[in-house]
Amino acid sequence: MSPLLAQVEIREREDTCVSDNGFCPDWIADNFDRYVDPFLQHVLLTVVAVAIGFAIAFTLALVAYRHRWLINPVTQVTGVLYTIPSIAAFFLLLPITGRGFVTATIALVAYVLLIIFRNVLTGLDNVPDETKDAGRGMGLTDRQLLWRVEVPLAMPEIMAGLRIAVTTTVGLATLAFFAGAGGLGEQIFADINFKSNVVVAGGLAVALAALLDAAILITQRAITPWTRAAAAR
């Protein structure tokens, strides 16, 4: 029919590891840069969501610590948010906030709230009464007591909560592509038949969670040196 204007090269193909959808280390090494952007998107999603969630939940916990009647309602509400499967949350938010980073972040933040809230609260509750009395005895005001005694002593609990929040958020952020926010989940689905792709994208997500988890653990050990001694005992 038409003159051959397209000189697109029609290639001969043999069966290779890649065309067989296998696990091909060579290919992975050559194409690793494909995973950098999704990885960074994933990091951003996680860090932003946890930071915002922490800020909100920490504040709520401090308020509830003083005004005990708040504990129950806040726990219930954050509990419900926690129980709604995140994928449902992504889709429910779509018509309101549209596709993109914001929608994903809102859903991820909602998930983080309960974890941080209850951990901060439990940490504060666990401060021994004697320590608080001693502090008051030394003339500390309520506010000083809170920031100089109670919060530092609650740190292990708070950090434990942060670790859980971070690893869970990395996991949930893989679903963020349903909300149009990219991330490693999108990369997995870009070629779900290709073993190399799934292993690398999935592996990076696991590595990210492990890395952040370790980072928080190290920070915690650094800022609460007394627990190191306790753990060593």
Residues 145, 147, 150, 156, Cα dihedral to 10°: -170
Q: Which of residues 200-219 bind another protein (CB under 8 A)?
A: 201-203, 205-206, 209-210, 213
Q: Which is nearer to another protein, 53 or 156 (CB)?
A: 156
Q: Which stretch binds another protein (CB under 8 A): 49-57, 61-69, 138-146, 193-201?
A: 193-201
Residues 154, 160, 166, 171, Cα dihedral to 10°: -150
- Find the shortest distance in angstroms from Cβ 141 to another protein: 24
Asked whether position 227 contacts another protein by CB under 8 A, the answer is yes
CB half-sphere exposure, 213, CA atoms < 13 A: 13
Q: Which two tokens mark 86? A: 């995140």
Classify 121 as helix, strand or coil.
helix
- Residue identified by tokens 């296998």 is 22
Residues 102 and 2: their CA atoms lie apart, in Å, by: 49
Q: Which of residues 32-91 bind another protein (CB under 8 A)?
A: 34, 79-80, 83-88, 91
Asked whether position 148 contacts another protein by CB under 8 A, the answer is no
- Find the shortest distance in angstroms from Cβ 153 to another protein: 9
Comparing CA positions, the residue from 66, 60, 68 lying closest to residue 115 is 60
Site string for another protein, 16-35 (x = CB under 8 A): --xx-x-----x---x--x-
Residues 124, 127, 130, 134, Cα dihedral to 10°: -60
Can you tell me which of 63, 138, 199, 223 binds another protein, judged by CB under 8 A? 199
Q: Which is nearer to another protein, 72 or 141 (CB)?
A: 72
Site string for another protein, 150-169 (x = CB under 8 A): ------xx-xx--xx--xx-
- Find the shortest distance in angstroms from Cβ 170 to another protein: 6
